[in-house]
Structure 1
Amino acid sequence: MAHRLFEGKEHAGSYWKYRISPSDHLMQQVLDFLEMHKGPSFEQAVDVGCGSGQGTLLLAKRFASVMGTDVSPAQLEMALQHAIEPNITYRQCGAEDLPLADSSVDLVTAMSAFHWFDRPRFLLEAHRVLKPRGCLALLNYSLDMELSYPDCCSQKLNQVCKEFYAALHPYRSPNLGQASIQLYREAYESIPYPVKEWQECVWDRRHMTLSSYMGLVESFSSYQALLRDDQQKATRLSQDIAQRLMSVMKVTSAETEVEVAVKYFYLLACKPQEA
């Protein structure tokens, strides 16, 4: 069974404000794989578990029609507020029951969402809706993000980050196992398509304020679980980490910009012509 999280309105707002989406470079790798195996006609894509729609907006730049799906009304409400492109639609549904006809979609994506699905059922559903030679793209990033700041010891900075992640680890959902990358690797191995690709270390570097980095980590399910369990403990932890990071950086404002290196992994798979 799929797991329902991220459904509160406040969390959905945080998701839109802080959650990161794949860079243009990373998305281009997905599109290059699709074009190589299917051709340059990008008609319809579906972004499953779309959340507040950041990834859906990226796909809308390249596809004639894009559908974003999610189980959370609050997430979809947030996505609709930002869906100014006329080629985007959103539907509330489970990842395992997509409102799409057989063999109708060029690309099925799930960006940082696949680990919450009923994974075997979703893979069967993706196979059903994909056109022959259509592609499946499952992307995610690890929690082990790295910060850097000019004239600052990166080792000291990231030791604080590691302590933040370690404090959140006991609140990690047991459905994710020790590391979600294992779930994606298992999915890659289980997909019977002869044409597929696995990448487990693609660094994506971006600049954001320290407060945005903190907001990003606070949007994770582990922090949200801690927040539900003990709000004061969660707040103290976040404030302490932010203060320690500023101390290492020798700055006094959380609006100071840092470079955040995010490690992505992904699998790409092309449905055979004769499936």
Structure 2
Amino acid sequence: MTDWQASKNWFDRGGQAYARFRPEYPLGPARFLAETARSHKCAVDVGCGNGQLTAQLAAYFDDVVGLDPSADQIANAPAQQGVRYICASAEKLPLPDRSANLITAAQAAHWFDLPAFYAEARRIASDGAALALISYGVLRLPGDLQSRFDRFYHDEIGPYWPPERKLVDRGYRDLCFPFEERQAPQMDIQLAWALGDFLGYLSTWSAVQRVKGTGREDILNDFARDISRLWGDPTKTQPVSWPINMRIGLL
């Protein structure tokens, strides 16, 4: 990529792009969640996508199950010993009663029918099982990159976000969470990305796909041009970070 025009395919979509560009969690969240669980026989990751958190839980639990309603996402989850993936919804978990010591939902709970999911979580939870809703907030960039990104995120594609996005931006603080809650430590995702990585990540956003679907590709192209100019050398890496938010309760 030598200029912004070489990145005009940045809004390609699909599970393969999601698996390639979505930021991976650091090891801290999985380790903390394992410490919260009273037993380590089984962890269940609901709305697992391509298994970014699911795979990390395998280091702490004997059996890890990743569940997602999207067959495309499951197909892009890497095979790993001790991890199995099942195409299933959050509202109908295909697991036995009282079988899960930890139930997680990472960057997914805002799509759930929460009462139905909570009922299923209670059903499959073992005594003292932990439930964690995990999300990461709006990304942070250095200097002028942040200013241009803020305008794009809040003003230009802001109207195209589904209402559920506000729940993510607020760290799920507005979600009903009827459990005995535990405090989580402050953690962040910190990466160094080249321009192509950054634009590829944005391509996985639902708002970007909606912009494209309405024929307003000029919004995307103008932003790609501006951010490319500010970025400079497209192979140069820039620090990118996201705050990790967790709501953890005991069932």
TM-score range (shorter-chain normalised) is: 0.7 to 0.9
Contact 1:139 1:267 in 2 (8 A): yes
Q: Which has the higher contact order (CA 8 A, sep 6+)?
A: 2
Contact 1:105 1:129 in 2 (8 A): yes
Name the CA distance, whole Å, in 1 between partners of 2:58 and 2:151.
Answer: 38
Name the CA distance, whole Å, in 1 between partners of 2:97 and 2:244.
Answer: 30
Contact 1:115 1:183 in 2 (8 A): no
The AA in structure 1 aligned to 2:197 is S
More helix by share: 1
RMSD: 2.2
Residue 136 of structure 1 aligns to a residue whose secondary structure is strand
Deviation at 1:198, TM superposition (A): 4.6
Matched, 1:122 2:117: yes
Contact 2:136 2:245 in 1 (8 A): yes
The AA in structure 1 aligned to 2:101 is D
The alpha-carbon distance between structure 1 residues 146 and 52, as it changes in their structure 2 partners (threshold 3 A), is same
Matched, 1:163 2:161: no
Task: String of CA shifts for 1:108-132, please: whole Å, max 9, x gaps.
Answer: 1111011111112111211111101
Name the CA distance, whole Å, in 2 between partners of 1:217 and 1:137.
Answer: 26
Question: What TM-score do the two structures reach when normalised by structure 1?
Answer: 0.79
Residue 148 of structure 2 aligns to a residue whose secondary structure is helix
Where does structure 2 lack aligned partners over 5 or more consecutive residues?
1-11
Match of 1:97 among 92, 102, 109: 92
Percent identity between matched residues is 27
The AA in structure 2 aligned to 1:260 is V
Matched, 1:78 2:76: yes
Question: What TM-score do the two structures reach when normalised by structure 2?
Answer: 0.86
Aligned to 1:49: 47
Query: How many equivalent residue pairs?
Result: 239
The alpha-carbon distance between structure 1 residues 25 and 239, as it changes in their structure 2 partners (threshold 3 A), is same
Aligned to 1:180: 168
Name the CA distance, whole Å, in 1 between partners of 2:101 and 2:186.
Answer: 26
The AA in structure 2 aligned to 1:223 is V
Name the CA distance, whole Å, in 1 between partners of 2:167 and 2:82.
Answer: 36
Match of 1:190 among 171, 174, 177: 177
Contact 1:181 1:265 in 2 (8 A): no
Task: String of CA shifts for 1:202-230, please: whole Å, max 9, x gaps.
Answer: 43322222321221122111112212222
Aligned to 1:218: 203
Aligned to 2:247: 267
Task: String of CA shifts for 1:71-93, please: whole Å, max 9, x gaps.
Answer: 111111111xx11x221111111
